[in-house]
Amino acid sequence: MHAHTPLQNSTMLKTNQIGSFNQNGYLIIENFIDSRQRHRLMQRAEQLIEEFQPPTNRSVFTTNEQERSSDDYFLSSGNKIRFFFEEEAIDQHGNFTVQKQQSINKIGHAQHLLDPEYKQVVDELDFHSLGRQLGIQSPRSIQSMHVFKQPNIGGEVTLHQDSTFLYTEPMSCIGFWLALEEATRENGCLQVIPKGHKIPLKKRFKLAADGGTQFDILNDSPWPEQPLEMLEAAAGTLIILHGQLPHYSAANRSSRSRQAFTLHLVDKLCDYPQDNWLQTDLV
């Protein structure tokens, strides 16, 4: 079983928590975000979706990495607040199958820098302090996402390593995953390969020279055949993920959403290549 560690009104990690992160590739901290902060983020997301006018050409966040959306709307979202639809929210004729509020897969990727509500909550939670304690010398908030895992149609996210998408040399990415709602095996909680951060980075997602994107295969050995560990989490829980830790979440076929907020840090002292898909001039 994974250890659940409460953290009391402080972002100071204990030595054994840092050791656990280094050993397992993840760390679970219960009661990290309070209900006021959670509801503030969820209400702000609802407001942003309400104000959002869906374009005729709708960008679906496909859950299969090989078919990941590489349109301009997606690729230029590093310094914007953009909306991506669930695959099953739009039929083959481009019509919605659900109400607008239930159609969004995620909002990304710069609301932590551009939206005052998100920015304030993110600043209160002081992720940079956590990043420094886990080895990032000069933290840079490179990407945020509000992920909805909508009821009944919330898409699967295939097994992947975050450093595939937020690559630095040397690698430095750390992901902070906040459960805004309870995450269970029924509604698509995170699943991980424990100690899997010691697996070499499998591939890198980058801009292709001729436009669009491509995957560079860095290591073609298969994932180890072992059961994934379910990280069920109460609302308010923070899960910190090493950038090389393989993780996954199943489709949500339940009637309950599984909202989460994620923030990814990289180290400013590491090289952030110009052909990384996500580029931002905001930080």
User: Is 50 exceeded by the pLDDT of residue 209?
Assistant: yes
Mean pLDDT of all residues belonging to the chain: 90
pTM: 0.92
Residue count of the chain = 283
Q: What are phi and psi of 102, to 5 degrees?
A: -95, 5
Which pLDDT tens digit goes with each residue over 93-132? 778 888 888 889 999 999 999 999 999 999 999 999 999 9
User: Is 50 exceeded by the pLDDT of residue 250?
Assistant: yes
What is the helix (H) or strand (E) element at residue 74, kind and residue range? helix 72-75
- Kindly state the tokens that stand for 207: 């801009």
* pLDDT range class, residue 56, cuts 50, 70, 90: low
Coil, helix or strand for 113? helix
148-169 mean pLDDT: 95
Q: DSSP states of 1-38 as a string? A: -PPPEE--S--PPPHHHHHHHHHHSEEEEET-S-HHHH
Which pLDDT tens digit goes with each residue over 63-99? 554 444 457 888 889 999 999 988 888 887 778 888 8
Among 31-35, 227-231, 278-282, which is the least confidently predicted range? 278-282
- According to CATH, the superfamily of the domain at 5-267 is q2cbj1_9rhob like domain (2.60.120.620)
- CA–CA distance, 277 with 205 (Å, rounded to integer): 7
Close Cβ partners of 219 (under 8 Å, ≥ 6 residues apart): 200, 201, 202, 203
